[in-house]
Amino acid sequence: MWLDDARKVQTFEAVDRQVFEHDILPLQRPAILCGAARHWPAVAVAAKGPEALCDYFKAYANDQKVMLQSARPEIAGRYSFSDDLRGLNHQQRQLPFATIADLILRDRDDVSSPTHYAGGVPVQHIMPGVLADNSLDLMPPEKPKQISLWIGNRTRTAAHWDLPQNLACVIAGKRRFTLFPIDQIDNLYITPLDLTLAGQPTSLVDFYNPDFDAFPKFHEAMPHAEVADLEPGDVLYLPSLWFHHVESLENFGAMINFWWREGPASLYRHTPLTTLMHGLLTLRDLPLEERLRWRTLFDHYLFQPDGEAMAHIPDHARGLFGALTTENEQRLKAYLAQTLNR
């Protein structure tokens, strides 16, 4: 398989908060933190077997329902869309976590049975006690973050990006991440921004069996792939906006993700995807030369690394281009609402 020759993600041993913050985060590149979660009780319980780990999680879980995704065995665990992109190639339903765990256990060894996985299970709301046992001292505890559990059979999640940064902690089963930098977006054949499986657009390419007639530019993406093979207790650091295709290499696996974003608190209320969608209204259909002029303006006002666009203007006179205070945030939102409602 072509991935056998892919570049391997760099591995770091004995990572503590200082190493993570000073040697890994500034690089803004994927990194394997070998054994960084090996001390977790959940990893020790998982070593006793899938039943033991499911019992461990069920003991903490409440009765709130979460999403279970189930698929016919013939799709080989590749959760995606139907061929005509009008629907999904799998079933989605809401069930209590205990029911989901029992289904995953029931069908894990039967190749003629459906595969199942529950992704993005909000640990803080469904099983908050798990966090007291299993934590990472790699970032300040007060840093805002979302913490999610992923548990299932042998499955594959199509390549996609996430807005937050991510620490993916493997608890049970071997797991492989195949990664691409965001500049490969044109070669990965991504769905429209509003056609998603679980909130993020995904690649239509089957990494196990690429259809080069339908997706010829995937040839150009392949040399840029990086692979991270993770064992229980390993942690993958994934910067924001890196494409990642995720597969469980065994018939049972579990992982907990810690997600966070750098920057002001307003980033948790707003997303740059909103800006991109606004651009569909205001920029996409302009003549090419005019669009390119607007790109110059975006570069000038948004992407200068040192924020020099307003350097010649006193702070008090910068208006909406000043610091994103609460007052300025409200003024910007009011301006946008007014223009969108014309």
Tokens in use for 178?
A: 């195949």
Cα distance between the two ends of the chain? 54
- Indicate the angle between helix axes 97-107 and 50-60, nearest 10 degrees: 170
Decide: 134 and 42 in contact? Cβ < 8 Å: yes
Distance (Å, whole) CA 169 – CA 166: 9
**Closest by Cα among 99, 89, 245, 85 to 161:** 245
Pair 154, 284 in one domain: no
Contact 235, 146 (CB under 8 A): no
140, two tokens: 């300040």
pLDDT in tens, 191-210: 998 888 878 899 999 999 99
Report pLDDT for 221. 97
Residues 158, 88 share a domain: yes
Q: Which residues contact 271 (CB under 8 A, 6 or more apart)?
A: 163
Same domain, 187 and 271: no
Could you list the mean pLDDT of each consecutive 10-residue stretch along the chain, which spans 342 residues? 89 96 96 97 98 97 96 91 91 96 94 92 95 89 84 94 95 98 96 86 94 96 97 97 96 95 75 89 94 93 79 87 86 87 78
Tokens standing for residue 26: 């500034």
Task: Give me the percent of the chain exceeding a pLDDT of 90.
Answer: 70
Instruction: Give the pLDDT of residue 175.
Output: 97
Residues 138 and 287 in one domain: no
Can you give the pLDDT at residue 41? 97
Looking at the fold, whether 194 and 322 belong to one and the same domain comes out as no
Of 228, 262, 296, which closes a domain? 262
Residue with tokens 């707003």: 270
Q: Where are the beta strands (DSSP E) in the chain?
A: 7-8, 11-12, 31-33, 65-71, 78-79, 91-96, 115-122, 146-152, 156-160, 165-172, 175-180, 226-230, 235-238, 243-248, 253-260
In whole angstroms, what is the distance from residue 180 CA to residue 242 CA?
Answer: 6
Q: Return the structure tokens found at 325.
A: 């205070």
Sheet with strand 243-248: strands edge to edge: 7-8, 226-230, 175-180, 243-248, 156-160, 78-79
- Cβ proximity of 189 and 204 under 8 Å: yes
Number of domains in the chain: 2
82 and 223 in a single domain? The answer is: yes
Last residue of a domain, one of 243, 262, 281: 262
Global confidence as pTM: 0.92
Both 63 and 202 in one domain: the answer is: yes
The verdict on 91 and 237 lying in the same domain is yes
**Residue 299: which domain range?**
267-340
Same domain, 250 and 297: no
Phi and psi of 58, rounded to 5°?
Answer: -60, -30
Question: What pLDDT, on a 0 to 100 scale, did the predictor assign at position 144?
Answer: 64
Chain CA centroid to CA 160, Å: 7
Q: What secondary structure, in 3-state letters, does 138-198 show?
A: CCCCCCCCEEEEEEECCCEEEEECCCCEEEEEEEECCEEEEEECHHHHHHHCECCCCCCCC
Residues 101, 58: contact at Cβ < 8 Å?
yes
* Secondary structure letter of residue 224 according to DSSP: G
Cα distance between residue 79 and residue 70, in whole Å: 9
Residue 114 gets which letter from DSSP?
Answer: P
pLDDT for the residue numbered 103: 96
Same domain, 67 and 102: yes
Question: Do residue 38 and residue 171 come from a single domain?
Answer: yes
Sheet holding 91-96, edge to edge: 11-12, 31-33, 235-238, 165-172, 253-260, 146-152, 115-122, 65-71, 91-96
Q: Residues 110, 231: one domain? A: yes
Q: What is the CATH number of the domain that holds 76?
A: 2.60.120.650
Q: State which of 202, 233, 262 marks the end of a domain.
A: 262
